[in-house]
Amino acid sequence: MAVEGGLKLVKYLVFFFNFIFWLCGLALIVIGVLVQISLHNTLMIKDASGSGAPILLIALGVIVFLISFFGCCGAWKENFCMITMFALLMSLIIIAEIAVTIVGYIYRGKVRVTDVVKDSLADMISNYNTSSPEFRDTVDKLQHDLKCCGVNSSADWRGFSPEGNTVPDSCCITVTQGCGEGTMSDASKVYQKGCQEAVEAILQENVKWIIVAALVIAVLQILGVVFACLLMRGIRSGYEVM
């Protein structure tokens, strides 16, 4: 009776952990979609290679989503084959996540904006004057939010006006109408840091949080696999788990 009660608890724990993983997979899919939208609408990235990271997130989310759903069904139905398959597939996912985490930690200080993003930032500047108001609003919001100006520096806007010394008002530290006129090199009025550097800083800051999140998820997944193995042993031994 005590063993049966213990296996009941294990069964519910396996189901609970799989439900958490199912939510994590769903979250990865949503994040991947949001990143894809952000890259193409905010940075106006047109190069297909720029979609690599969000597509990878979506694919990983779908895999985790399906494996977790598989595990939930296996635990609820007490199906030995389904639980075994879940434990095997989740173990492979854990190994891959640990490998990615190690690589991310090793190269955490070497994050660089890709050529795709660099080119997109340059295109945003070169097309600023001839684009729609919505496009200009996107560029202005990017510079204002990141407190940056141009790709590498405010000097990237030298083609913005005939005199070559004016930047969009969104480059100003304090934004007012016409504040960017003739102030390109004035550090007291205009941000001198380029948006490439600002994006790199954000990526480097976020890498450590991604590593922490990956480790936490990996620990939870390991616990899920351990409980799945315990449930497998109980089912194989012929105990009834209700």
pLDDT at 168: 93
d(CA 224, CA 87): 8
pLDDT at 242: 46
In the chain, residues under CATH classification 1.10.1450.10 are 115-196
Q: Which DSSP string do the residues of 134-196 spell out, in sequence order?
A: HHHHHHHHHHHHHT--SSSBGGGGTTSSTTS----GGGBSS--TTTTTT-TT-TTTB--B-HH
Closest listed residue to residue 67, CA positions, set 39, 87, 95: 87
pTM, whole model, 2 decimals?
A: 0.57
pLDDT at 87: 86
Q: What are 117's strand-pairing partners? A: none
Instruction: Read off the DSSP letter of residue 110.
Output: G
Q: What's the CATH code, domain 115-196?
A: 1.10.1450.10
Q: Which distant-in-sequence residues (6+ apart) come within 8 Å of 2 by Cβ?
A: none
In tens digits, the chain (242 residues) has pLDDT values of 334 556 778 888 888 888 888 888 888 788 777 766 665 555 555 544 445 566 777 787 888 888 888 888 888 887 888 888 888 888 888 887 777 767 766 765 554 555 566 767 787 888 888 878 888 888 898 889 889 998 889 999 988 888 888 999 999 999 999 899 989 989 999 999 888 877 777 766 766 676 677 777 778 888 888 888 888 887 777 644 44
Q: Which amino acid is at 145?
A: D
Token pair in block for residue 72:
């939930």
pLDDT at 169: 93
Helix axes 195-236, 2-41, angle to 10 degrees: 160
pLDDT at 107: 62
CB atoms within 10 A of CB 236: 11
- Enumerate long-range contacts of 142-145, CB under 8 Å, 24 or more apart: 142/42, 142/43, 142/195, 143/168, 143/170, 143/171, 143/191, 143/195, 144/170, 144/175
pLDDT at 38: 61
CB atoms within 10 A of CB 229: 16
pLDDT at 200: 73
d(CA 126, CA 144): 18
pLDDT at 173: 93
Closest listed residue to residue 68, CA positions, set 105, 14, 115, 142: 14
